[in-house]
Structure 1
Amino acid sequence: MVQIPTTPAPPTPPAPRPVPTSADVARLAGVSRATVSYVLNNTSAVRISEPTRQRVHDAARELGYVPHAAARSLRAGHSRMVLMPAPAVAAGPLYSQFVHDLQQALSQIGYTVVQYGASGMHGQEAVRSWAELRPVAVLVPGNGISAEGVAVLKRSGAKAVVVLAAEHVPGAHTLILDHADVGRLAARHLHERGRRRIGVVVPVERGMDMFSGPRLAGVREELAGTGAEVVALPMAHTEESAAELAARWPELGLDAVFGYNDEYALPLARALQDRGVDIPGDVAVVGADDLLIARLARPRLTSVAIRLPAGPALADLVDRAVHRPGTEAEHPGAIQVALVVRESS
């Protein structure tokens, strides 16, 4: 009789570890479940000693426990999610720092900020995709929402909608940021310095026209009727594109350029210098955003500074709107722009 060898049974995988609960944290820390909830949800209405807070945090870390966002939302009657739709174009250092400061300020008062990318969606389609996540507040970074969109979000449970836009959006807390003002300020400065043939860099990258268009329009509006000439200068954010534009400078005959922002102005300024153009003697250069690189450049770059709201102030606005949803939307006012004059102009 031939014996057929048998294949040994595979080892039984270990049973998955149970998900730790707040009751487990309470037992390990020697406190009540209510105390765990107060500590981990940063509840300020209840006074809890620092040693007790530390025991709860230590127990939560040891067990690997994190609060359940959905359960917390059910108890509170609303989520703690603040949704920030990602901008359609790559965010620069100024906006990235603004988002970082705002996220930090909101997290300190118990909110979770989620950046949401809805690639290819626009208008009401994008708004509906935001509403599906049931955020308690939405912060829209550009002119990407209408009064109808605000109504959709509020019907889905959003208590606050904050918008950065060129004009007030009914129903929203609107921070007015008119990019035409940036162009007007740069143009006024260059004209006052005696410049009469002014180029304006227009980024060719997709989606940038929502910012560059108003800035170019602002330059043209400011210089209308002055006799000054405005020339649009398409340019990509590359050394090669800046060099190609600088090579055309003799035929363009421009004596000034508003570089859209610092990140476009500086490559063009360097390309002009490489071709022997004196800045500001031959060509005055102005950027925007007032980034660190503007101060490090030689000559230092004149720039239009955009004073975005501080993270804690905007976080406080969101929190007040969440807790008083029936009140009329506040109008925090216009975001200020200011010219910082340096050697380049």
Structure 2
Amino acid sequence: MSQTPRQPVGRSAPTSADVARLAGVSRATVSYVLNNTAAVRISEPTRLRVRAAAEELGYVPHAAARSLRAGHTRTVVMPSARLPGGPLPVRFYDEFQSELRRLEYTVVEYGGVGLDGDEAARAWAELRPVAVVCPGATQPSAYGVSLLRRSGARAVVTLGPHPTRGAHFLALDERRIGAAAVGHLIHRGRRAIGVVVPREPGPKLCAELRLEGARAAAEGSGARTVPLPMAYEEESAAALAARWRATGLDAVFAFDDAYAMLLMRALQDEGVDVPRETAVVGAGDLLLGRLLRPRLSTVRVDTVSGRRLAELVDRVVREPAAEPEHHDLMAARAVHRESS
């Protein structure tokens, strides 16, 4: 049962020696127990006694000292901002971080906003992480990967459309999302397809890749695609909807479900019939999209679990000399509902 540490205010922080005295064991035993050292067998009653003593004193191991003994930290760094509109859901990141914590890594989200890949790599290198996970726009060049490796990172894992020399690579190709959406619309008989391009800077890379995939899907089909800049604001959606009929478009891939729901409501307010006049497709398969009328067609993105990514990080940390691994992280498929 948790209790307030009895360490008086103003005294120095408790040490492993204090825990050893209270538990009646050696300092080595305290270290083995609190660092979960599997190579040394410690009885369960002793483990419980050590942990109880540490909790009573408010003792926590010193991360820097532990890093010195191990020769590396247990810190995994990743960007501080999850990419808006990206294909990886929040639950993926939550599972990934939870699994890393279970494997006794400390996750630090830092240095992703306003920094390009190599600038972010320099910021991360200052923390001397044991591993770095770089999605999307924060993906460093080969120079950035080399910089991280020289600073002590045993694993650099990139998530994006293209691999980077020297880094482990998980293919996260956003072009598949645009291709799946436009391929679905073409299959439904649409030939003049708008592609929403968010005005916000955050989704820029995602939007460019999805537009590229949309254009590739339309090539040779007789269909045309038109980029449509739009901010995630009611005013911007209303302005686009007000001139919709003048565009001559009969369908729209609206970047993701959030933009799609916003634009669909604006089109309906303008009297544009969805899907008879204009088909609408989003991406992400949000539950809210299924509750709308008409129900929102979408692109469902299937990815490997966050646990598998955490296991990859742990494996390459333990085997830093291994050749870079390449894996496919995602698949995209259209889900037809009433809006298309």
Pairwise mapping of residues 1-345 of structure 1 onto structure 2 (< 5 A)? 16-87=10-81, 90=84, 94-117=88-111, 119-143=113-137, 144-345=139-340
SS of alignment partner, residue 138 of structure 1 = strand
Range with bigger deviation, 282-291 or 93-102: 93-102
Which segments of 5 or more consecutive residues in structure 1 lack a partner in the other structure?
A: 1-13
Amino acid in the other structure paired with 1:292: L
| Counterpart contact for 1:89–1:206, Cα < 8 Å | no
Range with bigger deviation, 33-42 or 311-320: 33-42
Distance across 2 between alignment mates of 1:306 and 1:285: 17
| Rg larger in structure | 1
Range with bigger deviation, 149-158 or 306-315: 306-315
Distance across 1 between alignment mates of 2:335 and 2:39: 45
Structure 1 residues 307 and 78: alpha-carbon distance in aligned structure 2, compared to 1, 3 A threshold: same
Structure 1 residues 236 and 157: alpha-carbon distance in aligned structure 2, compared to 1, 3 A threshold: same
SS of alignment partner, residue 198 of structure 1 = strand
Deviation at 1:337, TM superposition (A): 1.7
Q: Normalising to structure 1: TM-score of the pair?
A: 0.89
Amino acid in the other structure paired with 2:118: Q
Tell me the equivalent position of 1:11: none
Tell me the equivalent position of 2:3: none
Distance across 2 between alignment mates of 1:41 and 1:91: 39
Range with bigger deviation, 224-233 or 323-332: 224-233
Distance across 2 between alignment mates of 1:38 and 1:292: 47
Distance across 1 between alignment mates of 2:336 and 2:45: 53
Aligned residues: 332
SS of alignment partner, residue 332 of structure 1 = strand
Summarize deviations over 1:176-196 as a string: whole Å, max 9, x none.
112111111111100000011
| Counterpart contact for 1:40–1:57, Cα < 8 Å | yes
Distance across 2 between alignment mates of 1:110 and 1:338: 36
| Counterpart contact for 2:158–2:164, Cα < 8 Å | yes
Task: Calculate percent identity across the aligned residue pairs.
Answer: 59
What is the RMSD computed on CA atoms of the aligned residues? 2.2
